[in-house]
Amino acid sequence: MDKLTTEQRHKNMAAIRSKDTKPELIVRKGLWKRGFRYRLNHKRLPGHPDLVLRKYRTCIFINGCFWHGHLVDSKTMESSVCCKIPTTNRDFWVAKIRRNKERDKEEQRKLAEMGWHCITVWECELKPSKREETLDSIAFTLNHIWLQDHGAKRVPYPKVDEESENYLKAAEEEI
């Protein structure tokens, strides 16, 4: 039974869209509260990371579990607890989600090559019961990364070639 008028449906769709930005807000607020500072949506870096923490040389991606196929094996593409692949038009969804997963992997590989660390935060890790634990764990990881990069000399600093340095400079000028 579908009693929604067109107007109501539009309102619902708008609500869903704005809700989609919520996970990012949770991470932003949580990290800010813990003393971390960041830039948003870095357009010049591969994958346009949601948050960029230069001091930690870290990009953070906040991923929706469905679109990015959380816990879905790229080979079998079976549904997971997080990502139920629709049975209608399954081939279409499988191809779409697989492409997203491949793109995510490729972008993070490029970032790593440029000397960036990447942290992926999944939407499911931000539900109220897990939220604080997840944010604490991101903070812990960031501090760990900083110590690795600046503390222990024996840990080699990620290699950055000249080209990506220029790339980064260009990105910095844009900020």
Please say which residue, 120 or 148, places its beta carbon nearer to Zn ion.
120
CB 104 to Zn ion: min, Å? 13
Q: Measured from the CB atom, is 52 or 65 closer to Zn ion? A: 65
Measured from the CB atom, the residue of 141 and 148 that comes closer to Zn ion is 141
Question: Of 5 and 129, which has the nearer Cβ to Zn ion?
Answer: 129
Min dist. Cβ of residue 75 to Zn ion (A): 19
User: Which of 23, 30, 103, 18 lies closest to 65, judged by CA?
Assistant: 23
CB of 98 to Zn ion, least distance (A): 17
What is the separation, in whole angstroms, between the first and last Cα of the chain? 50
Provide the H-helix boundaries in the chain: 6-20, 22-33, 90-113, 128-150, 162-174
Which chain residues interact with Zn ion by CB under 5 A? Answer: 65, 70, 82, 122, 124
CB of 62 vs Zn ion, minimal distance in Å:
12
Tell me if 138 sits within 8 A of 121, measured CB to CB.
yes
Q: Determine the Cα–Cα distance for residues 7 and 163; give it in Å rounded to an integer.
A: 51
